[in-house]
């Protein structure tokens, strides 16, 4: 049997330093669990622009299409702010999502007990929180046409288009219902059907998929603005939230902060199954490239490491090994080991990015 293949794209800013810690974890699985991966590495974002004049080369795109899973660090940085829109670092990431057709973006927001005091919300509001945002990732206003900046009379007009087909809504709704069945069996769908036709269609189609295929799952609908308010008021009312590309972008950042730090949260972007039955997949932390702290050993590698745990679970059917890695992270946090984003409490041990990776490897060692 051939080893599962992984393409690693560290990207920009803190991407390479957090990815170096993931490499330690991957190496650990090869050495201690006999789970070897064929790992290749490539460039994306500003790093690719610097080397090739484009945020993603066709060769890297082809490689991403051919591996079992892609693991991405982060893209972007102030150095690239003035580049033409078409070659900005973010375009590389968006091309990967679009061409791999990764329509379901899973963004869990889980509050680790050790960090419950760290949230800006009261402890009882977030302790034990475990929600999953399913964000549609390949359509909506991110990709709709027409788009652009046009001349109109004596001024310019900026245009983007929110557009969803029924089949695009159906497939992401199915992803949400399937996930809910394996969790708390509850889905809340968010749109703005009160002001947008695309929201009216979204609500109708999600309801139809529910009634025809998932009547056993509890479904509710909420306007996205009210959803944002409820997320801050009492987030534990939610299990799975399904929403469009732009609302999902905003709501997932808000949900991430409930848990204390954006440096903690992983994500999985999944598409249709490939010939080998595995879904097309890209895993990445929810956080960005954080150029202000890049290269200083301050970055938290946990979001990227937990993204690899999601790869174990969703691409490689290794749920037990994913549990092992998540427990190792939990143990290290319970021991008071903290990167710079999580300092401020009494009795914690401040560590660098690389020391955090080492601590998680040590916790993995203790688990076998």
Q: Known catalytic residue: 341? A: no
298 marked ligand binding residue:
yes
CA contacts within 13 A on the Cβ side of 305:
36
Q: Known catalytic residue: 327? A: no
- DSSP H helices, 127-274, are 166-181, 197-213, 224-233, 245-258
Q: Return the bridge partners of 133, or none.
A: 107, 241
Q: Which of 182, 184, 200 is nearest to 192 (CA)?
A: 200
Q: Which residue is nearest to ligand IPM (CB)?
A: 90
Q: Residue 30 CB, nearest distance to ligand IPM (Å)? A: 29
Which residue among the candidates 29, 49, 103, 142 is catalytic per the annotation?
142
Q: Which of 332, 326, 294, 264 is nearest to 126 (CA)?
A: 264
Which residue among the candidates 12, 239, 249, 341 is catalytic per the annotation?
249
Q: Known catalytic residue: 225? A: yes
Of residues 235-264, those binding Mg ion (CB under 5 A): 249
Which residue among the candidates 253, 323, 335, 358 is catalytic per the annotation?
253
Q: Residue 236 CB, nearest distance to ligand IPM (Å)? A: 23
What is the chain's percent helix, strand, coil content, to nearest 5?
50, 20, 30
In the bound state with Mg ion, the residue whose beta carbon lies nearer, of 21 and 249, is 249
In the bound state with ligand IPM, the residue whose beta carbon lies nearer, of 35 and 250, is 250
Please tell me the distance from the alpha carbon of residue 44 to that of residue 12, in angstroms, as a whole number.
8
The sign of the dihedral angle between the CA atoms of 84, 86, 91, 96 is negative
Q: Residue 94 CB, nearest distance to ligand IPM (Å)? A: 6
For position 284 contacting Mg ion by CB under 5 A, the verdict is no
Q: Residue 130 CB, nearest distance to ligand IPM (Å)? A: 20
Q: Residue 253 CB, nearest distance to ligand IPM (Å)? A: 7
Start-to-end C-alpha separation, the chain: 24
In the bound state with ligand IPM, the residue whose beta carbon lies nearer, of 299 and 359, is 299
Name the token pair of 352.
């660098």
Q: Known catalytic residue: 113? A: no
Please tell me the distance from the alpha carbon of residue 62 to that of residue 317, in angstroms, as a whole number.
24
In the bound state with ligand IPM, the residue whose beta carbon lies nearer, of 55 and 279, is 55
In the bound state with ligand IPM, the residue whose beta carbon lies nearer, of 287 and 331, is 287
Using CB under 6 A as the criterion, which residues of the chain lie in contact with ligand IPM when the complex forms?
Answer: 90, 93-94, 249
Which residue among the candidates 12, 192, 239, 280 is catalytic per the annotation?
192
Please tell me the distance from the alpha carbon of residue 70 to that of residue 139, in angstroms, as a whole number.
20
105 marked ligand binding residue:
no
The secondary element (H helix, E strand) that includes residue 305 is: helix 302-314
Q: Known catalytic residue: 192? A: yes
244 marked ligand binding residue:
no
The sign of the dihedral angle between the CA atoms of 83, 89, 90, 93 is positive
290 marked ligand binding residue:
yes
Please tell me the distance from the alpha carbon of residue 90 to that of residue 249, in angstroms, as a whole number.
14
Q: What is the CA radius of gyration of the chain?
A: 20
Give which of ligand IPM, Mg ion, none residue 100 binds (C-beta under 5 to 8 Å, depending on kind). none
Site residues, Mg ion (CB under 5 A): 249
Active site residues: 142, 192, 225, 249, 253
Which residues contribute to the annotated binding site for NAD(+)?
77-90, 288-300
Which residues contribute to the annotated binding site for substrate?
97, 107, 135, 225
Which residues contribute to the annotated binding site?
77-90, 97, 107, 135, 225, 249, 253, 288-300
């Amino acid at each position: 049997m051939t080893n599962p293949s992984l393409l690693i794209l560290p990207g920009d800013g803190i991407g390479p330093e957090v990815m170096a810690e993931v490499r330690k974890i991957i190496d650990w699985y090869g050495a201690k669990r006999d789970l070897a991966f064929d790992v290749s590495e490539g460039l994306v974002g500003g790093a690719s622009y610097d080397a090739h004049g484009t945020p993603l080369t066709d060769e890297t795109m082809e490689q991403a299409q051919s591996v079992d899973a892609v693991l991405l660090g982060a893209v972007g940085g102030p150095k690239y702010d003035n580049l033409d829109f078409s070659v900005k670092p973010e375009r590389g990431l968006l091309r990967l999502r679009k061409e791999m057709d990764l329509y379901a973006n899973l963004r869990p927001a889980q509050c680790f007990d050790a960090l419950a005091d760290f949230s800006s919300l009261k402890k009882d509001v977030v302790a034990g929180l475990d929600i999953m945002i399913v964000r549609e990732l390949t359509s909506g206003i991110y990709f709709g046409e027409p788009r652009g900046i046009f001349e109109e009379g004596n001024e310019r007009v900026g245009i983007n288009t929110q557009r969803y087909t029924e089949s695009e809504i159906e497939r992401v709704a199915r992803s949400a219902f399937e996930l809910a069945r394996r969790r708390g069996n509850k889905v809340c769908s968010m749109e703005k059907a009160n002001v947008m036709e695309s929201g009216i269609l979204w609500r109708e189609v999600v309801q139809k998929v529910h009634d025809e295929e998932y009547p056993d799952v509890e479904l509710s609908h909420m306007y996205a603005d009210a959803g944002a308010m409820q997320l801050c008021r009492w987030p534990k009312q939610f299990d799975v939230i399904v929403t469009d590309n732009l609302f999902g972008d905003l709501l997932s950042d808000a949900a991430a902060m409930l848990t204390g730090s954006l440096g903690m949260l992983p994500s999985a972007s999944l598409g249709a199954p490939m010939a080998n039955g595995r879904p097309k997949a890209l895993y990445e932390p929810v956080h960005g490239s954080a150029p202000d702290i890049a290269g200083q050993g301050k970055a938290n590698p946990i979001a990227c490491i937990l993204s690899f745990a999601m790869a174990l679970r969703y691409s490689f059917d290794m749920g037990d090994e994913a549990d092992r890695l998540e427990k190792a992270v939990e143990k290290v946090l319970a021991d008071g080991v903290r990167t710079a984003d999580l300092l401020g409490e009494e009795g914690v041990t401040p560590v660098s990015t690389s020391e955090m990776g080492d601590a998680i490897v040590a916790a993995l060692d203790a688990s076998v």
